[in-house]
Chains A and B, each alone.
Chain A
Amino acid sequence: MAKKGGLMKWLDERLAISELWRVMMSEYYLPKNINFLWSFGVLTMLVFVILVVTGIILLMYYKPDSKLAFDSVNKTIMMDVSYGWVFRHTHAVGASIMFLVLFIHMARGIYYGSYKAPREVVWVTGFILFVLMSATAFTGYLLPWGQMSYWAAQTITTLFEKIPFIGPDLVIWIRGNYIVEDATLTRFFALHVTLLPALILVFTVIHMYAVRIVGSNNEDGIPMTKEEKKKNGIPFWPVFMSKEFFVMSVFLLFFFYLVFFNYGFAMDPINFQPANYLQTPPHIYPEWYFLAFYEVLRGFFFSETLGLIAFVASMFLPLFLPWLDRSPIVSGKHRPLFRIMFWIFIIDFVFLTILGKLPPTGLFAWLGFIGAIVYFIFFFSLPIISFIEKKQVASGGGQQ
């Protein structure tokens, strides 16, 4: 934006683009004590762009009709359309990897206390983006109309049946039929390609705006004013982004390695059988990114209702992190107690993810129960840790 030629000057006079560029890019400063984990936010945007581009191409051949959907994906797109398979595999792998990047981005936020004041809005909008992304993944998974698509949608919509009073009617309303059928497919399709991506865009804008107002957190959780960051930090453009481009390149190598050589994890073999409402596959399981939450649901194997409450709680508890954790110490780097609980939580999350794919019988059922309890212990330990740390800080101990 250094040169102000004809067109740029003309636009600037009408849209103040150089001011916008300064606020969003060249005069948005980041501290120097950050590490490569801070690059995952931009990576989610990169994956989102990949998903939108591949999605638009798929949209041109996909047919949202229960009689045509399966063949339009598995025959037309996979066999007839030139390079159609590349776009399908990229879209499927992209959806999966989006969650990997999101989980790392969120875990970084939790570890370094990025959800704390004054960044609550950044955390909350980020959480809403996670929920929207989950809804998009879930609705999109039905579209190929294979056995796994069908029974995942059937099982998840059945969960709403347990809501008191309105449950059974609500399920029929969501499906538009007594079972998952054509009506369900077309409305999931509509949500997947219009409303949900539009909402994701809106919340991404709010998320980025909010982080530019309060500024980036850093490894030590030290509060810094914009002037301090300007003096000691780096501008987002071009310094941070030039580093980001390197991370992107490495990431894309990994990503396209998966797309071309190891896409199987995003393509369940059972889903290559067309949906059949009279035959349930022997084992139904969600995609890997929902397995941990799914295992919390199954963990309470002795009570369906309790399992369901735990499932909903496990998804929505992270939203309340800024209010569960009121400790004056921001970064996990300076919180030994918190650090122990954080790593237990991460290990537990991986443990639940692995367990979610195993049959829920015998010892596995009990391990699932223990795993689910540990998941909640992390969140409920936060007020206690905050209380201890508040005392430490008040008595002059602890580091800031």
Chain B
Amino acid sequence: MAEKVLTQHFGLKNVYQIDEYIKQGGYEAVKKALKLKPEEILEEMKKANLRGRGGAGFPAGVKWGFVPKVDKPKYLCVNADEGEPGTFKDRYIMSHNPHMLLEGIIITSYCVGIHSAYIYIRGEYEAVALRLEEAISEAYDKGYLGKNILNSGFDLDVSVHRGAGAYICGEETALLESLEGKRGNPRLKPPFPASVGLFQCPTVINNVETLSNIPQIILNGADWFTGKGLPKDGGTRIFGVSGMVEKPGIYELPIGTNLKDIINKHAGGMKQGKKLKAVIPGGMSAPVLKADEIDIPMDFDSLVNAESMLGSAAIIVIDTGTSMLDVLKAVTKFYSHESCGLCTPCRIGTSWINKIVKRMAEGKGSKKDIDDIVRLASNILGKTLCPLGDAAAMPILSIAKKFRKELESRL
């Protein structure tokens, strides 16, 4: 079994409490980092090439390097919105190991020169938010947060900010708008948040899992990190497996682990001997893979080559007993509900497609309906303000293409 990084403490009962966490070697990374120069940390992070775990896979060190050295406050926003259907990994990190995330937050903030961080957590995770708040208050008490942390002269405040039910607020610029107290409508980019972000100030936005990797990178070095997973895509991922498997749950494995093995070995194979039909490999926004396409390493580039994406590494397993029309219905229902309504192709397109699919599911569809779905989805693709439009169009197009025969048989 490969060595665990993020979930190494999950078997321990009280590691969410600071005393137990410190007993396990916790906060050593912060101590080490505060003795380094911020530039040294940035250098190491660039070398580690830690790719963002929120979905897009952008290297964290490069992102931090974009923050301009201006005389303005800078902010860190931790993306804990976890709204991508199929995704539940950040919930595990935050509830089992909140201090590992806090260490990542402290080190990132020190490196970039940030004195104020907000953890934007989805509103439904009330219990997790409370746990984070307890962890934060423990960290203040021990001098790991607040003024002059461990006599380093570095100050940092961290607070938890709860969302209120809107998938779009996981998109980084919508998250900023929401945190500022507005409707969660995305902003036009550029300017990118690194230069104009929260309260018009330079801002770093990173996912919970991304940040939680940082303490171990600081302790063990970039070479250790790139030695796990793949050279250009190092470390582990927490794969969340759900759907028709025997053992749904989270599995922390090296990046590049074969999807087939994740399903058959780690997640116990198909539920009650059911047969595999399709897999969504990276959260609902990822195009589907057919049963004969799952012999594939789970890393960003391999999935792009397979015309899908690794996204949030949420694996949804679909069996032959499930109709792809029902899958399509769930997908289109979700996006038509979650479109923020700002741009026309996404607002009208998603709800129109959803209406057609519902009609098809009632047995009132025609061949033209499938063509219409493809036409409408193609007209969303690449024509919207934020990536939600693409995220809606891509899975729809992949189902229409790969399962067209089945859809036609349901007409």
B is a partner of A: no
